[in-house]
Structure 1
Amino acid sequence: MLPLCLSRPARGAAVALAIVVLAGCSADGGSDPAVSPSISSTSAPTPLTFEEATTALTETLLPTATVQRCDEYEPGSPEAQEYLDQLAAEVAATAAEEAAAPSPTLPQCGSPTLGDLRAASLAGHAFAVGDPVELPVSGGAARAIEVYEMRDAGSAQTAVATEAADLDGWAADKETPRVDNADGTYLPRTVISAAGVDEVDLPGWTTWVLSRDEASFQDDGSAAADPYSTAFLWAARDSLVIRVQVVGDTPGQAVATALDTATRYTEALD
């Protein structure tokens, strides 16, 4: 997973929150939940398909000031060929202006570490690209839903159990000292609190959520920014894995936001 890339602004100052905050900040690794978490007693009568899961990704689930969608295609499928043909035509149209036009490639969505067959994602932000944002934002400054098609149900369960193990200790209380950057800027001292990994109730799914609150402080002990919360919800059902990410929420609220988003998404699936 990629690290959280949020800068800590001075109190009251607005900062530009990069779209990349949703590239992924959960780790494959502090807490040690059950290796094989129990699934809810409510199960679907028929296995869910990846196509059904991607159809249920709608903008109503996310902040909509800025929305980005990503869909992967099965290599060799008609959809994949149509995408490549369209991209090749666009590349050819601009080739005369570019010394080396890139070869058309299929899109890659979500985390590249899960070993999935296909993935799709939808990300929404409570601000337009390039606009400043002041954290926290109720409901999260940025939110995303990703769905992965795994090889089978066992692979899906293993993927979620691995994330829930939090081996890198992302969801653990800790303190990070001030970091001086080469360009003369610096990242203030950061304190992670209220961190943990918990199993949550999402009917029909095996579900774990990793969360933490973040606060930053200047050298004199004064607050460098208002604290905010972040959460990553992982869930498995049949051969599908979903991840809901919430970044920049009110302290202590990111888990509720992630679970509400996941609940509305899975209800749409059913």
Structure 2
Amino acid sequence: MPKQAYRHDTLSAGYRLNRVRLTEAFATAAAARDDRARRTAERIVARHGANLTVEDCDIRTWYRLWGKTLQATTPGRLITAIGRECEKTGGRMLRASTFTTKLSQTCFCGTKVAKTLADRIHACTSCGFIGDRDKVSAALNAHVRLNDPDDPSTARLDIVQARHTQVLFEPALQEALSSQPQRGARPARGRTHAAAPTSGHPDHGPLLDTTHRPVPDKPRMRPDPRTSGTRPTSEQPATRTTRHPGASAPHRHRTDITALRDYS
């Protein structure tokens, strides 16, 4: 057993210095996340307005599934920043319960489309609408109505309004919520594209640059005169080699004084 409590231990100067450095590093990282979330919230509010509705999700469940991976995105910090930005601009952010709305399991036509968490594509068998699961849920979230703004469980999806939106804007809605990649999208850093060549060059793919850049020739290096069997060049005069009586064929000795003088 320890003789005294840990709080009474004497800490070394190096330990105190490292602890201060770690505290500063964590504080700097937290400030960077706050600034990134604030700037993202500003862009969202400027584009979609100050009255927004988000799903009432428990972030703790996400951390149990993905762990520290969420520290790069910090969804809870982003939602808090969006709510703060809505209040600053005179609006309000509302929360809708996922149990009453079921946005990921519903289509614009009102049909229930059952999907697991691994299914990321929304495909309705009734109306034939196909799109990205998250985008469809976000579009349906614009048609959510709350009887009590302070109670997320009172949220309901207005199916009639969602159906009218689909009828009026079906071509544009299908293109906006499509699961296909956007035009001009580039592959992520560190990934390679293994598609068939399209520009006639075996190293070119559809997403790679089709401009052929010739590789510059390497500078010609002067051969070492000490190496046996070197062919004569314009920079190196021809040399004669003699063979020792007791030496094998690969081992030869140069006797040309000109080559030795040029090398020195």
TM-score (norm 1): 0.19
Structure with the higher strand share, 1 or 2: 1
**Larger RCO, structures 1/2 (Cα 8 Å, 6+ apart):** 1
Structure with the higher helix share, 1 or 2: 2
TM-score (norm 2): 0.19
